[in-house]
Structure 1
């Protein structure tokens, strides 16, 4: 893996939908290590577009985890109050709306009124067949998702640290993906791209399970005027599994950092537990610097 390239900025971008777990910590640590190795500054961006799930306790948990693990960040909120007042995604709705209007003006959007149950029946594999394209529903009709017209045969480069540049095509389950939800709010894929362009992000670290999102977002960026996202480089890391080999999730409370701390785990214990789960020498690891040195020496 070539870590000699320099970058401008990366981001730690959690979604406050539950208490953060070891897998989140793993991703944040790798982001920090790569940023410091490549000269990138670190933005803390909390993706709270789903306001119903973005509870204060989950947002506080993000700050608690970063401070507990002594992970630095250079830009973004320092606490819940500052986040709510200045950095919530609700303050950037005009940016998302502008991007949507760019796509509308180019004829790249269509309206879709399919319900989840209808989609499960017509596309159980998640491969949306374009059901509503021919219907030509007006975009200002109520209760409509806005979807992006996509070409599943189009190929384009995706720049990845772990594989170098690959030629990508949209995964079938990303055909005509949603860019605006029925409630009028921007969907995740669009908001994420808009934020990355707005903040000047050129290095994105995320789990391997999000590679389809990386491809969809890269496709979306190609539909826009020239922008930094078109040249962004990704690092997709392996997912962290628990000791039973199962993927970690926010619903599995026993792997949340909050739970582990309440049961007496200290910072060094968390780093050593992460080392154990990733096959690194536990005794040598006690902070993000030593974890990073061991991890990327192993990646070699």
Structure 2
């Protein structure tokens, strides 16, 4: 992928510590860092750890080990577990998320929902609680955002301005979960604004989330979110049309490292899956973008 000489201030690598990182994560991180190198952007390491039930110290350590093993640099964010715990966990930014949620409540943009995932219809929320006027302080409820068919404007790398609407499975999407933690959509949006990110690189599977976050930014009157440029890259597939997952151990970087594979072997496997010959290290990756 050859990009025009565009300059950015800051991008981010944002893994979740819910499993060992795999080849698809490595592709996304390497592409992010390569685009940062070409555009002059600083790289922030932001660990998305609000799903506290799935956070694991081994998975956290794997983030640092994988980035260093693959020689993927970062300029800002935690350098190790102690640094992460001291000031970089998302738990340290709970007040920011709370302020955004309170703004949504004050604006009456949300409603309380008692539905379980089992009550969704093929992953689509049927609107069961939309008009029930359940008090927002009811125990064991989620907060959902009232949504409509409005058209959103997104800045896409090498594509300019594109227009999109929410996917069906993100209509009336959750902004606060039943465990009282903010949803991924809200926390990711607030973090990108807080850190001044102006380039987001993520897989194509997260394109619907990009649209949802633009929708939420508009409701919160955060117009600067429209200035962020997004790039959604192809996914590495584990045969057929099945994307890689953190449960697929054989594609995890840790597994490959434990099997004696080098960083060059890992980059070579990524290249093979992408149909690119001669990919051996991060510097080769930089030359591709």
TM range (shorter): over 0.9
Find 2:192's aligned residue among 184, 192, 196: 196
Q: Tell me which residue corresponds to 1:94.
A: 95
Aligned-partner Cα distance in 2 for 1:58–1:229:
30
Q: Tell me which residue corresponds to 1:57.
A: 58
Find 1:253's aligned residue among 224, 249, 255: 249
The structure-2 alpha-carbon separation of the partners of 1:2 and 1:70, relative to structure 1 and needing over 3 Å to count, comes to closer
State the Cα distance separating 1:245 from its structure 2 match. 5.8
- Contact 1:3/1:38 (<8 A) preserved: no
Q: Tell me which residue corresponds to 2:131.
A: 134
TM-score normalized by the length of structure 2: 0.96
Long gaps (5+) in structure 1 = none
Is residue 2:20 matched to residue 1:19?
yes
Residue pairs, 1:91-130, within 5 angstroms: 91-119=92-120, 123-124=121-122, 126-130=123-127
CA offsets per residue over residues 17-51 of structure 1, 9 Å max, x none? 00000000000000000111111100000000011
State the Cα distance separating 1:162 from its structure 2 match. 4.9
**RMSD over equivalenced CA pairs, Å:** 1.3
SS of the counterpart of 1:52? helix
Aligned-partner Cα distance in 1 for 2:163–2:114:
33
Q: Tell me which residue corresponds to 1:154.
A: 150
State the Cα distance separating 1:226 from its structure 2 match. 3.3
- Contact 2:155/2:226 (<8 A) preserved: no
Aligned-partner Cα distance in 2 for 1:254–1:74:
30
State the Cα distance separating 1:163 from its structure 2 match. 3.1
- Contact 1:201/1:229 (<8 A) preserved: no
Aligned-partner Cα distance in 1 for 2:230–2:73:
20
- Contact 1:110/1:136 (<8 A) preserved: yes
- Contact 1:45/1:76 (<8 A) preserved: yes
SS of the counterpart of 2:52? coil
Is residue 2:277 matched to residue 1:276?
no
State the Cα distance separating 1:2 from its structure 2 match. 4.2
SS of the counterpart of 1:250? coil
SS of the counterpart of 2:129? coil
State the Cα distance separating 1:243 from its structure 2 match. 5.4
CA offsets per residue over residues 170-227 of structure 1, 9 Å max, x none? 1111100000011111111101101111111111000001100000011111112334
Aligned-partner Cα distance in 1 for 2:223–2:41:
18
Q: How many residues align?
A: 288
State the Cα distance separating 1:293 from its structure 2 match. 1.6
SS of the counterpart of 1:154? coil
Long gaps (5+) in structure 2 = none
Aligned-partner Cα distance in 1 for 2:261–2:240:
20
Aligned-partner Cα distance in 2 for 1:237–1:226:
25
SS of the counterpart of 1:85? helix
Q: Tell me which residue corresponds to 1:85.
A: 86
Q: Tell me which residue corresponds to 1:210.
A: 206
Aligned-partner Cα distance in 1 for 2:254–2:117:
34
Find 1:238's aligned residue among 234, 244, 253: 234
Q: Tell me which residue corresponds to 1:292.
A: 286
- Contact 1:127/1:174 (<8 A) preserved: yes
Q: Tell me which residue corresponds to 1:180.
A: 176
The structure-2 alpha-carbon separation of the partners of 1:288 and 1:220, relative to structure 1 and needing over 3 Å to count, comes to same
